[in-house]
Amino acid sequence: DYLSVDADARRVYVTHGTEVVVLNADDYSVVGRIGGLQLSHAVVVLKELGKGYITDGDAKKVVIFDLNTLKVTGEVVTNQPDTDALVYDPASKLLFSINGNSANLTVIDPVKETVVKMMDLGGAAEFGVVDGKGTLYNNNEEKGDVAVIDTRTLTIKTRWPAAPAGTVTALAMDLKNQRLFSAGRN
């Protein structure tokens, strides 16, 4: 579903159904595999913790693995169907599991490996990006807008309509110029 690149470790994490394939970024050889998943979607790597996190949509959880061994070391149950995109916010030091069709997100403390809060997003959520200053932007497919979320207070500050984009899906941010790019279907 999503590719993740760890430029420092020269690794590419490719979610591939029931496993995540870890590639060497220089020659694309397989470094390893993380299996035992039902439907993998996204990977976030936190070097400072020595851990990686994988959303498993059908299992309704975030799987935790060791960056060195690629062995699964734990999990955080979201209990939400379509546990999908995953974003880390360095300002709040929290992980945000965006639970697509469940219309919410699960806020996770990656150190304690526990759920901090469930947040209702009021419609099918798709992808999110952070600005590194305490704001998470989340495309809402159902509402056709971008929810602007304060990652410290864990509240929705505002919503920006994305019309005429249609169903908003992809989202990217140019941090240097503080520009948000939201792509839509139809």
C-beta separation of 40 from 82 below 8 A: no
pLDDT digits (tens, 9 = 90+) for 110-142: 999 999 999 999 999 999 999 999 999 999 998
**Chain-centroid distance, C-alpha 77:** 15
C-beta separation of 12 from 3 below 8 A: yes
Residue 166, pLDDT score? 78
Residue 1, pLDDT score? 83
Mean pLDDT of 167-178: 92
Q: How far apart are alpha carbons 65 and 34 in whole angstroms?
A: 8
Q: Which of 12-21, 33-42, 163-172 has the lowest mean pLDDT?
A: 163-172
Contacts of 176 (CB under 8 A, 6+ apart): none
Residue 150, pLDDT score? 98
Q: How far apart are alpha carbons 41 and 56 in whole angstroms?
A: 6
C-beta separation of 139 from 126 below 8 A: yes
Positions of E strands within 67-154: 72-77, 83-89, 94-99, 104-109, 114-120, 125-130, 135-140, 145-150
Mean pLDDT of 39-49: 97
Residue 26, pLDDT score? 98
**Chain-centroid distance, C-alpha 45:** 11
Smallest CA-to-CA distance from 75 within 126, 50, 110 is with 110
Q: How far apart are alpha carbons 148 and 185 in whole angstroms?
A: 20
Residue 163, pLDDT score? 82
Residue 167, pLDDT score? 87
Q: How does DSSP classify residue 27?
A: T
Mean pLDDT of 169-186: 91
**pTM of the predicted protein model:** 0.95
C-beta separation of 68 from 104 below 8 A: no
Residue 29, pLDDT score? 98
Q: What sign has the CA pseudo-torsion 83, 172, 170, 155?
A: positive
